[in-house]
């Protein structure tokens, strides 16, 4: 099906990238559970390996089920292509891989998922890369953090855990002025609520584990390429602009144009890093995306109601939901996330750390899990779990102080969720 913009989001989330199976006529995308693909002849095989022809070689690189998912997510995000991989964390490494080199750095927001903070502050150092953490509301600090060795700027559209909304238009302008790409993790918002490419993002990453799949069954990640960055404008990105020895001197940007980054991510990133999504996971995610807009509407509706109730409760110190008029990011939501502020936020419990633990242990409908974006409502105490490895200062900067819990509001009856929170807060107060 054409990805022409004349089709609406609700149509594209069902049809983009998918066609009836030519062999059987199957309407749902089949799970192509195979490791390898038969070549027509020796010339066909050589053309595929030389990147002279697009096709299937080996499922570490490409797979028909995964290809549909890549095209669908790219279409919904307004990108030209995408590379799916095994998890959201894998997607972040995949996103940086063509850009970075030893001695290079990425400027990142302090408001990130705790696992991302750990990955960027600790793990990437083993590659010789560095991350510079900055409050992205302080635009002067963002500008000052960028230097000649900076190769990307990274943030979340709606930050986990606090629901903070990034001013993508301003940040993308700073990245453009510096001649580096802006990478936006759009997991918490999904392309239904936010389209970062329309606000200047070069790349968009997702943990498809979350809202895109929506049912808590499989892990996955994806990197979407806007196709709008000029990789040859400077010598900062030789992986994309300079000759590639593994392909007889082929220059990805010269050869593939707007699709250079996507081809590199598959032909080199997946080839050598091997962070491959399995076709069954892609199938689950494709089924989830078919109802994305319907789910996100209910997620937002429930979150607005529950956040308002919590803000009025005397047992609660504050609520961080950007959809509340009291939020400093309320006006920003209108431009960055016009369909709503998502369903992820924190609230502070009077009584601090101990009261948070009692609250979590007393809930009946909310599930205490290290996940978000499920149809089920979820809760976690970040300071003792997802952000436990961080210092107290890092926890506070990330919006995960010891007195806060994170909610991922599901699509159940909102009144039932409020009643569950009410009884748990009562127990936490004693």
Query: Which of 43-47, 395-399, 407-411 is predicted with the least confidence, judged by mean pLDDT?
Result: 395-399
For residue 2, is pLDDT > 60? no
- With tokens 């997620």, the residue in question is 299
Would you state the pLDDT for residue 375?
Answer: 97
Would you state the pLDDT for residue 115?
Answer: 87
Q: What is the pLDDT of residues 12-39, one digit of tens each?
A: 999 999 989 888 999 999 999 999 999 9
Distance (Å, rounded) from C-alpha 251 to C-alpha 261? 11
For residue 95, is pLDDT > 80? yes
Would you state the pLDDT for residue 384?
Answer: 84
Average pLDDT (268-277) is 96
Would you state the pLDDT for residue 162?
Answer: 86
For residue 5, is pLDDT > 60? no
Distance (Å, rounded) from C-alpha 5 to C-alpha 15? 13
Q: What is the dihedral of CA 365, 368, 371, 376, to 10 degrees?
A: -10
- The pLDDT > 70 percentage for the chain reads 99
Average pLDDT (339-367) is 95
Distance (Å, rounded) from C-alpha 287 to C-alpha 292? 9
Q: What is the pLDDT of the chain when averaged over all its residues?
A: 95
Distance (Å, rounded) from C-alpha 189 to C-alpha 300? 10
Query: Which of 106-115, 168-177, 207-216 is predicted with the least confidence, judged by mean pLDDT?
Result: 106-115
- Domains defined for the chain, CATH in brackets: 9-288 (3.40.640.10), 292-428 (3.90.1150.10)
Distance (Å, rounded) from C-alpha 16 to C-alpha 11? 8
Average pLDDT (114-134) is 95
SS3 per residue for the chain? CCCCCCCCHHHHHHHCCCCCCCCCCCCCCCCCCCCECCCCCHHHHHHHHCCCCCCCCECCCCCHHHHHHHHHHHHHHCCCEEEEECCHHHHHHHHHCCCCCCCCEEEEECCCCHHHHHHHHCHHHHHCCEEEEECCCCHHHHHHHCCCCEEEEEEECECCCCCCECCHHHHHHHHHHHCCCEEEECCCCHHHHCCHHHHCCCEEEEECCCCCCCCCCCCCEEEEECCCCCCCCCCCCHHHHCCEHHHCCECHHHHHHHHHHHHHHHHHHHHHHCCCCCHHHHHHHHHHHCCHHHHHHHHHHHHHHHHHHHHCCCCEEEECCCCCCCCCCHHHHHHHCCCCCCCEEEEEECCHHHHHHHHHHHCCCCEECCCCCCCCCEEECHHHCCCCCCCHHHHHHHCCCCCEEEEECCCCCHHHHHHHHHHHHHHHCC
Query: Quick check: bond before 161 cis, omega within 30?
Result: yes
- With tokens 């990245």, the residue in question is 175
Query: Which of 61-70, 262-271, 349-358 is predicted with the least confidence, judged by mean pLDDT?
Result: 349-358
Average pLDDT (153-179) is 96
Distance (Å, rounded) from C-alpha 138 to C-alpha 189? 22
Would you state the pLDDT for residue 156?
Answer: 98
């Amino acid at each position: 099906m054409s990805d022409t913009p004349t089709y609406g989001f609700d149509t594209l989330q069902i049809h983009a990238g998918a066609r009836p199976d030519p062999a059987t006529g199957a309407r749902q995308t089949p799970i192509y559970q195979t490791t390898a693909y038969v070549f027509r002849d020796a010339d066909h095989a050589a053309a595929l390996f030389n990147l002279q022809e697009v096709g299937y070689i080996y499922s570490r690189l490409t797979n028909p089920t995964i290809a549909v998912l890549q095209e669908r997510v790219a279409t919904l995000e307004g990108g030209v292509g995408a590379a799916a991989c095994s998890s959201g964390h894998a997607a972040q490494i995949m996103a940086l891989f063509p850009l970075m080199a030893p001695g290079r750095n990425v400027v990142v927001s302090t408001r990130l998922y705790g696992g991302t903070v750990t990955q960027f502050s600790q793990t990437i150092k083993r590659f010789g890369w560095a991350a510079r953490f900055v409050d992205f509301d302080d635009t002067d600090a963002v500008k000052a953090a960028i230097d000649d060795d900076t190769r990307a700027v990274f943030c979340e559209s709606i930050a986990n855990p606090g629901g903070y909304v990034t001013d993508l238009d301003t940040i993308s302008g700073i990245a453009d002025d510096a001649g580096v790409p802006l990478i936006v993790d759009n997991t918490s918002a999904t392309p239904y609520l936010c389209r970062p490419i329309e606000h200047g993002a070069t790349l968009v990453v997702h943990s498809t584990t979350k809202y895109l799949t929506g049912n808590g069954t499989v892990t996955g990640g994806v990197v979407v390429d806007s196709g709008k960055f000029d990789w040859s404008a400077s010598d900062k990105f030789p992986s994309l602009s300079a000759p590639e020895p593994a392909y007889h001197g082929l220059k990805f940007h010269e050869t593939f144009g707007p699709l250079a980054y996507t081809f590199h991510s598959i032909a080199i990133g997946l080839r050598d890093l091997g962070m491959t999504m399995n076709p069954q996971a892609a199938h689950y995610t494709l089924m989830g995306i078919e109802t994305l807009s319907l789910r996100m509407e209910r997620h937002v509706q429930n979150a607005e109601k529950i956040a308002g109730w919590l803000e009025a409760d005397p047992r609660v110190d504050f609520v961080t939901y950007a959809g509340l008029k009291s939020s400093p990011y309320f006006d920003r939501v209108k431009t960055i996330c016009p369909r709503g502020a998502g369903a992820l936020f924190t609230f502070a419990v009077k009584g601090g750390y101990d009261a948070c633990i009692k609250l979590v242990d007393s809930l009946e409908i909310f599930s205490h899990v290290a996940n978000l974006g499920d149809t089920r409502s979820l809760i976690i105490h970040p300071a003792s779990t997802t952000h436990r490895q961080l210092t107290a200062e890092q926890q506070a900067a990330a919006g995960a102080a010891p007195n806060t819990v994170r909610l991922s509001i599901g699509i159940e009856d909102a009144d039932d969720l409020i009643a569950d929170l009410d009884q748990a807060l009562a127990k936490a107060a004693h």
